[in-house]
């Protein structure tokens, strides 16, 4: 792999570059690139690094608000939470590597997103993950679940960052392409946020962290193509993580960041040394000279090509102020990490790489980074499903509490305790709301404030109607935060889609972005960071469109925070929002008619009532009238009731005045949006109902808490312990086989 290799059409194709792109390279270079230069172009222009298919549409998303300090474009988004504190967060996918090598793929995904956050000066305080696996019958699913969960735990637990929330679903559409989306939230001081732009001619460029090896070469390119029969052969492109080194790197960086020595800093993620150096230089309008002999190397005889394309983990690149090298090195020596001055900033606008005394590459920086290609891919608008669904057959005729038991034991709704008990969700001793509720909550260290976080998406809605699905993902994240009493502030998006060169896939992407944008505006919930993962296809079959939204919000006083658990007997259960019994795309429908392939319309998302209902619920929580609160989402109303009862170990007697002309099951399990369940003390319910009426919010009493069963007037009862057995039983039993 040296520069004597002749550049042939075959080699160009192997680098994932098409003929037009190569012609552009010739134009930029004014000559034929050598092998190292071609490799650099290939990773910088990969979909993964350049966002060439998605940029045009991402630009349309709302990204600003008075509290947004830094929107998309940096390593992560930054928002102001008051008192001189900032929250820095982002979600990122590690889908392709996690399918090939689940433990390491997931572990390095977590490691990578944490670096994105602490490279900006924030100490990570919470991790979340959104996981989507194939059908539970698929032979690889168990192996993938076990490996991914253990990889996420292995990395996050060692780092000492609590993994507090997330989601996990199963669908045959992910059989060949699982989704592993990891989110990290960090806490920084607003006056100590670090950006990646390089500046100051002559300033030293410093490499810190782990040594560079031959792992992960072409990872970014691999993540930018579809899978096929030889996917297994791609195992060497997956990186290997070492959370111990990353923990040391975190502490060393935190120590260095407390001084005044850093000009710019960026982690080496996808495309490693190449993307970090190009992006830093490009943002600052600088040139760079790198001496590759100075790069700490794990293996002998590495070529320039290998060093520039390696995706070895736990590395950072930074530009220091003049004459700071000695003092900075002392910190990294203490943490026993490599520290090497690998180059200097220049004013040439060029990247010049030297290795063993020779210039091995000389590339203009801007065309590779900021000015990388941008495509307006052809797209066709997805025809939104309009068919209204009715559920018929055996399940429809069952009593609602029987359906409830069956639904609680389905893979999508069963308890995910098996997963989150493998994550340390309490380290840092600030976890206020543990996994299993709506949004998780961690206390902002040293204050009384709470930071709520959640991740949400309903891919089956997005498939049936991308615009409604995009809206719903944002609205549900906003709702989950609201249900804790916190004010939603901003979100991050992780766009997981199929091959963007297919117009119908691009149509899904465009539709979801449209819906997301509308919801973000209506809910004052801007998108401040994100990640795009395309080519999630195997042998031509794409995943469901999956735009995952990771949201954060803040509550000023954690003692006011609401949780889902019923707190006491004789509390009044109230549903907020319109219950219409929409069963299209519901989990009830999936259970009742698994073989029905009709694409029914998903529930409509009315952003105005989302806003009104949510603001009302939050107000009531903060006023102290609400004793428990839960958002109603997948599985519908009765599932949410059961979750509240199981969490509090207190039953409830339901006596709902549901619309008699519909089936009670539709009413109980429909997935109408903009709804919440809440409880109040016995003396507060009338006042709350009146307040709802004045606010134009639909509110209805459902029943009274107490006892050890859930009963429905004239429809029987079920013991909480039986429900718990259904809910908790499925996943351990499934994984034990």
Partner 1 sequence: MKTAVIVFPASNCDRDAQVALRNTFGSEPIMVWHGDATMPAVDLIVIPGGFSYGDYLRSGAMAANSPIMREVVTQANRGVRVLGICNGFQILSEAGLLPGVLMRNANLKFICRDVWLRVERNDTAFTALYTQNSAIRIPIANHDGNYFADDDTLAGLNQDNLVAFRYCDEGGNVTDGANPNGSLENIAGIYNKNLNVLGMMPHPERLMEAELGGTDGRPMFQGLVEVLAA
Which residues are annotated as catalytic?
48, 94
Distances 133 to 167, 311, 456 between C-alpha atoms, Å = 11, 25, 15
Instruction: For residue 694, give both structure tokens.
Output: 């004045």
User: Which position among 243, 264, 500, 547 is part of the footprint of partner 1 (CB under 8 A)?
Assistant: 243
Indicate the residue among 125 and 389 with the shorter CB distance to partner 1.
125
Interacting positions 328-347 with partner 1 (CB under 8 A): 334-336
- Regarding 118 and contact with partner 1 (CB under 8 A), the answer is no
- Residue 226, token pair as written in the block: 């579809």
Is residue 432 at the binding interface for partner 1, with CB under 8 A as the rule? yes
Q: Give 325: exposed, middle or buried? Use CB within 10 Å, 0-12, 13-18, 19+.
A: middle
- Parallel, antiparallel, or unpaired for β 676-680 and 709-712? unpaired
Closer to partner 1 by CB, 33 or 154: give it.
154
Closest CA to 439 of 585, 568, 618: 618
CB 447 → partner 1: shortest distance, Å?
12
> Would you say 217 or 433 has its CB closer to partner 1?
433
CA distance 190 to 81: 9
Considering only residues 133 through 172, tell me which ones interact with partner 1, judged by CB under 8 A. 150, 153-154, 157-160
Which lies closer to partner 1 via its Cβ, residue 151 or residue 367? 151
Q: Cα–Cα distances in Å, from 427 out to 122, 160, 667? A: 17, 6, 41
d(C-alpha 296, C-alpha 273), whole Å: 12
Residue 427 makes contact with partner 1 by CB under 8 A: yes
Q: Is 247 in the site for partner 1 (CB under 8 A)?
A: yes
Tokens of 271: 């495309």
> 583-642: which residues touch partner 1 (CB under 8 A)?
none
**Residue 258 interacts with partner 1 (CB under 8 A): yes or no:** no
- Whether residue 688 contacts residue 605, with contact meaning beta carbons closer than 8 Å, is answered with no
Does the protein bind partner 1 through residue 315 (CB under 8 A)? no
> Should residue 242 be labelled a site residue for partner 1 when binding is judged by CB under 8 A?
yes
- Closer of 153 and 400 to partner 1 (Cβ): 153
Which CB atom, from 150 or from 225, has the smaller least distance to partner 1? 150
Minimal distance, residue 561 CB to partner 1, in Å: 9
Q: How far apart are CA 440 and CA 454, in angstroms?
A: 6
Q: Which of 135, 225, 346, 422 is close enough to bind partner 1 by CB under 8 A?
A: 422
Cα–Cα distance list, 169 to 128, 193, 231, 457 (Å): 15, 36, 23, 10
| Helices 141-159 and 243-257, axial angle in degrees (round to 10) | 40
* Buried/exposed code over 475-507 (b: 16+ C-beta within 10 A; e: otherwise): bbbbbbbbbbbbbbbbbbbbbbbbbbebeebbb
Question: Judged by CB under 8 A, does residue 533 bind partner 1?
Answer: no
By CB under 8 A, tell whether 89 contacts partner 1.
no
CB of 413 to partner 1, least distance (A): 21
- What is the closest distance, in whole angstroms, from the C-beta atom of residue 178 to partner 1 in the complex? 20
- For partner 1, the closer of residues 419 and 527 by Cβ is 419
The answer to whether residues 471 and 516 touch, using CB atoms and an 8 Å cutoff, is yes
314 burial type by CB count under 10 A (0-12 exposed, 13-18 middle, 19+ buried): buried
For residues 552 to 581, the per-residue mask of contacts with partner 1, x marking binding by CB under 8 A and - elsewhere, is: ------xx----------------------
Q: Indicate the residue among 422 and 569 with the shorter CB distance to partner 1.
A: 422
| From candidates 26, 64, 201, 244, binder to partner 1 by CB under 8 A | 244
**How many C-beta atoms surround the C-beta of residue 95 within 10 A?**
25
CB of 92 to partner 1, least distance (A): 22
Interaction of residue 429 with partner 1, rule CB under 8 A: yes
CA atoms of 30 and 299, how far apart (whole Å)? 34
Instruction: State which of residues 363, 428, 513, 641 lies at the interface with partner 1 (CB under 8 A).
Output: 428
Judge whether 669 and 636 are in contact, CB under 8 Å. yes
The least distance separating partner 1 from the CB of residue 729, rounded to whole angstroms, comes to 16
Binding site residues, partner 1, CB under 8 A: 150, 153-154, 157-160, 242-245, 247-248, 334-336, 420-432, 434, 443, 558-559
């Amino acid at each position: 792999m040296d520069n004597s290799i002749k550049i042939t059409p075959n080699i160009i194709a192997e680098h994932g570059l098409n003929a037009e792109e190569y012609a552009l390279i010739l134009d930029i270079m004014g000559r034929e690139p050598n092998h190292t230069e071609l490799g650099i172009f290939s990773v910088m222009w990969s979909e993964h690094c350049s966002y060439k298919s998605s940029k045009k549409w991402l630009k349309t998303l709302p990204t600003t608000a008075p509290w947004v300090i830094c929107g998309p474009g940096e390593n992560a988004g930054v928002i102001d939470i008051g008192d001189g504190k900032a929250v820095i967060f982002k979600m990122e996918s590690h889908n392709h590597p996690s399918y090939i090598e689940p433990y390491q793929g997931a572990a390095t995904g977590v490691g990578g997103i944490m670096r994105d956050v602490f490279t900006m000066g924030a100490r990570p305080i919470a991790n979340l993950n959104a996981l989507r696996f194939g059908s539970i019958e698929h032979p690889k699913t168990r192996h993938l679940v076990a490996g991914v969960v253990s990889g996420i735990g292995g990395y996050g637990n060692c780092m000492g960052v609590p993994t507090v929330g997330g989601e996990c679903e199963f669908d045959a559409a992910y059989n060949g392409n699982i989704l592993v989306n990891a989110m990290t939230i960090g806490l920084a001081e607003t006056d100590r946020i670090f950006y990646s732009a390089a500046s100051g001619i002559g300033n030293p460029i410093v490499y810190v962290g782990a040594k560079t090896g031959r792992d992960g070469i072409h990872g970014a390119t691999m993540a930018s193509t579809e899978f096929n029969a030889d996917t297994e052969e791609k195992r060497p492109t997956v990186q290997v993580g070492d959370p111990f080194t990353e923990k040391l790197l975190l502490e060393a960086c935190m120590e260095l960041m407390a001084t005044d020595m850093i000009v710019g800093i960026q982690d080496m993620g996808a495309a490693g040394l190449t993307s970090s150096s190009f992006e830093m230089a490009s943002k600052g309008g600088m040139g760079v000279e790198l001496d590759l002999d100075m790069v700490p190397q794990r293996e002998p005889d590495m070529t320039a090509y290998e060093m520039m394309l390696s995706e070895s983990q736990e590395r950072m690149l930074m530009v220091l102020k003049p004459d700071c090298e000695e003092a900075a090195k002392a910190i990294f020596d203490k943490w026993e990490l490599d520290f090497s001055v690998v180059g200097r900033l220049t004013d040439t606008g060029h990247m010049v790489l030297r290795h063993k005394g020779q210039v091995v590459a000389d590339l203009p920086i801007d065309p590779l980074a900021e000015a990388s290609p941008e495509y307006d891919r052809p797209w066709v608008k997805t025809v939104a499903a309009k068919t209204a669904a009715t559920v018929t057959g055996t399940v429809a005729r069952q009593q609602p509490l029987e359906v409830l038991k069956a639904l609680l034991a389905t893979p999508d709704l069963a308890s995910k305790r098996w997963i989150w008990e493998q994550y340390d969700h309490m380290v840092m001793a600030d976890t206020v709301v543990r996994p299993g509720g709506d949004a998780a909550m961690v206390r902002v260290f040293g204050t009384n404030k709470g930071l709520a976080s959640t991740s949400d998406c309903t891919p089956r809605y997005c498939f049936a109607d991308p615009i409604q699905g995009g809206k719903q993902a944002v609205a549900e994240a906003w709702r989950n935060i609201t249900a804790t009493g916190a004010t939603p502030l901003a979100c991050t998006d992780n766009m997981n889609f199929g091959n963007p060169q297919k117009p119908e896939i691009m149509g899904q992407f465009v539709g979801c972005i449209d819906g997301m944008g509308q919801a973000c505006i209506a809910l004052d919930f801007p998108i401040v960071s994100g990640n795009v993962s395309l080519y999630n296809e195997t042998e031509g079959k794409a995943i469901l469109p999956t735009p995952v939204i990771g949201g954060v919000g803040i509550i000023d006083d954690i003692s006011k925070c609401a949780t889902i658990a019923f707190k006491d007997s004789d509390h009044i259960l109230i549903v907020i929002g319109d219950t219409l019994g929409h069963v299209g795309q519901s989990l009830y429908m999936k259970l009742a008619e698994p073989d029905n392939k009709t694409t029914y319309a998903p529930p409509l998302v009315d952003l105005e009532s989302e806003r009104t209902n949510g603001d009302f619920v939050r107000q009531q929580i903060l006023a102290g009238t609400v004793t428990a609160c839960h958002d109603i989402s997948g599985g519908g109303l009765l599932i949410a009731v059961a979750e509240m009862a199981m969490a509090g170990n207190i039953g409830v007697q339901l006596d709902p005045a549901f619309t008699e002309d519909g089936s009670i099951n539709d009413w109980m399990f429909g997935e109408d949006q903009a709804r919440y369940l809440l409880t109040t003390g016995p003396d507060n319910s009338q006042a709350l109902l009146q307040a709802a009426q004045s606010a134009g919010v639909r509110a209805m009493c459902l029943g009274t808490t107490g006892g050890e069963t859930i009963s429905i007037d004239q429809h029987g009862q079920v013991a909480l312990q039986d429900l718990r057995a259904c809910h908790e039983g499925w996943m351990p039993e499934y994984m034990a086989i």
